[in-house]
Structure 1
Amino acid sequence: MSIPLLEYKPISQNNRVAGYDVGGDDQPKIYCAENVMSLTEMNELIDSAYRQMFFYAFRSDREIFLESQLRDGQITVRDFIRGLMLSSTFRNSFYEKNSNYRFVEQCIQRALGRDPYNEREKIAWSIKIPTLGYEGFIDALLDSDEYMENFGYDIVPFQRRRVLAGRQEGERPFNIKSPRYDEYYRAILGFPQIIWQTEVRRYTPQEKQSRPGSPALYLDMARSLPNRANTPSRVSAMNISLDKVPYRKK
């Protein structure tokens, strides 16, 4: 008998209130399989799933078999998300390089589209990993009421509450405020790397930059032209004739 999920409460009552978001350019685009009518739209849906789960998927990280099943309608978007979370890329990047608490945080952000409420929620979900195993934890997360109510079977998960009404700045993306590896593994891998700049670059303000037609633009060209002026010949003092030396006549 598996241990039931421990109870946890949001740290704020605002999490219980239905969102009243104002549409804008910063609002995430919702990709739903029911609205896909062309091959291009299906490719955009698959790419959005990779961005949500992996942030970026190289060609070697793509799951070709799952993509073909999704294109043919054999699996749902939820099954495709499950396949990505069970893939070797996701397991190696998030599960094997982090603690259970860190791994739970990454999964909640990507699957449920929000940050964990508090540490108690991390503890509650981390207990599912040793009791149900890796696959059982993923299934429990995708079978939860929160996932089904917000995304269901056909919607690609996205970051919810990205922009909030009444706030000047919305929430930062998960990949910026929550790196893939924790501090311990970032130190082993050598992140962040310090890049020393050996070349000194000059910065010219825009108001001081030369405009078209300015003589300063032709200065280098003028300096590159050969000097054709008649240079005076050097005359030694020993070769000067006294007849050519001017003098005052009385």
Structure 2
Amino acid sequence: MAIPLLAYAPTCPNQRVDPLGAPDDEANIYSTDDIFSPTEMGNLINAAYRQIFFHAFKWDREIVLESQLRNRQITVRDFVRGLLVSNTFIDSFYNKNSNYRFVEHCIQKVLGRKVYSEAEKISWSAIVMTKGVKGFIDDLLNSDEYIENFGENTLPYHRRRILPSRATGEIPFNITSPRYDAYYRNQLGFPKGIWQEVVRTFVPYDQKLKAGDSRLFANMAKSINPRAGVASSISAYNIDIAQKVPYRR
């Protein structure tokens, strides 16, 4: 029996949504209400892959869903739902994380904000446990928060308040919200520091030595360590030939 979503509250009455990506992410809002050309629809689809998958390779793309969205057979919300229940997303985020981390990923990607508290993660994790992944995705896309902010035709984006007097550095989304949780990152042993004993310097192509250059011969000659021949201290008259030659029977 599925249990209802447990009650949780924002951390304060006037909740500030923390940033997830670069400062200019909020300005890029895609909606089919304002899109009419195939190029603009392609930009929306690519933005959806970046929002849900962070990056989609050629074999990760959902061609059938793209065709349905281009022909206006489905809405943007249906397209997002299809990406969330795809094999790529399930294998990349659900199979490699705990339910808490999976809930955190989905809230960031679908609702465009960070989780309010541990209570929110526990509440949605109970939905994943009782209704499964697809049931959890449906409840998240059918929530009042999603409908009020994005509706049927607007692609989810990173919501937050931008303070004009505060400068925020650009942080890549994959670093801000890595795929694996801290526990699994420690188990896998990354990130790892790389130390090179030899400092490599860049030499422009026009300054590199060409074949036949005399400086190459000079470097080769310097690398040779010749040794003078040492005279033998044993005289040929003192060698016992009979003892040195093997005897055959």
TM-score (norm 1): 0.73
Quote the residue 1:4 is aligned against.
4
Quote the residue 2:15 is aligned against.
15
Which runs of no fewer than 5 residues in structure 2 stay unpaired?
A: 18-22, 216-249
Distance 2:161 2:95 in 1: 29
Quote the residue 2:68 is aligned against.
69
Distance 1:88 1:198 in 2: 43
Quote the residue 2:20 is aligned against.
none
Distance 2:8 2:27 in 1: 28
Greater RCO structure (CA 8 Å; 6+ sep): 2
Distance 2:158 2:192 in 1: 28
Q: Check the 8 A contact 1:26/1:163 in 2, yes or no.
A: no
5 Å-filtered alignment, 1:84-233, equals: 84-161=83-160, 163-169=162-168, 174-197=173-196, 199-202=198-201
- CA apart distance, 1:26: 5.6
Quote the residue 1:44 is aligned against.
43
Q: Check the 8 A contact 1:32/1:156 in 2, yes or no.
A: yes
- The count of corresponding residues between Structure 1 and Structure 2 is 209
Distance 1:16 1:187 in 2: 31
SS of the residue corresponding to residue 120 of structure 2 reads helix
Which runs of no fewer than 5 residues in structure 1 stay unpaired?
A: 18-23, 204-216, 227-250
- CA apart distance, 1:130: 1.4
Distance 1:130 1:225 in 2: 74
Deviations 1:204-245 (A, max 9, x none): xxxxxxxxxxxxx99x9xxx799xxxxxxxxxxxxxxxxxxx
Identity %, equivalent residues: 60
Q: How well do the aligned residues superpose, as a CA RMSD in angstroms?
A: 3.2
Distance 1:173 1:9 in 2: 29
- CA apart distance, 1:184: 3.6
Q: Check the 8 A contact 1:128/1:136 in 2, yes or no.
A: yes
Quote the residue 1:230 is aligned against.
none
SS of the residue corresponding to residue 33 of structure 1 reads coil
- CA apart distance, 1:176: 2.1
- Supply the AA of the counterpart residue of 1:154: N
Would the alpha carbon gap of residues 95 and 25 (structure 1) be closer, same or farther in structure 2, given more than 3 Å must change? closer
Q: Check the 8 A contact 1:109/1:174 in 2, yes or no.
A: no
Deviations 1:172-219 (A, max 9, x none): 56432220111343345553244443652359xxxxxxxxxxxxx99x
Tell me, yes or no, if structure 1 residue 58 matches structure 2 residue 37. no
Deviations 1:92-143 (A, max 9, x none): 1110100000000000000000000000000010000111111000000000
Q: Check the 8 A contact 2:25/2:158 in 1, yes or no.
A: no
Q: Check the 8 A contact 1:112/1:147 in 2, yes or no.
A: yes
- Supply the AA of the counterpart residue of 2:63: I
Would the alpha carbon gap of residues 169 and 46 (structure 1) be closer, same or farther in structure 2, given more than 3 Å must change? same
Distance 1:200 1:162 in 2: 44
Quote the residue 2:235 is aligned against.
none
Q: Check the 8 A contact 2:141/2:147 in 1, yes or no.
A: yes
